[in-house]
Amino acid sequence: MRETKVTEELIFKEIVVSLKCDFCNQEYKNNTNDNIEIKDITHFTIEPGYGSRFDTDIFSFDICDKCLKNLINNKKFN
Least distance in Å: CB of 12 to Zn ion?
A: 31
Least distance in Å: CB of 47 to Zn ion?
A: 22
Amino acid of residue 7: T
What does the longest C-alpha to C-alpha distance in the chain come to? 71
DSSP element (H, E) containing 67: helix 65-72
Least distance in Å: CB of 67 to Zn ion?
A: 3
Interaction pattern, residues 17-56, with Zn ion; x per rule: CB under 5 A = ----x-xx--------------------------------
Mapped onto helix, strand or coil, the DSSP state of residue 41 is: strand
Q: Rule CB under 5 A: which residues touch Zn ion?
A: 21, 23-24, 64, 67
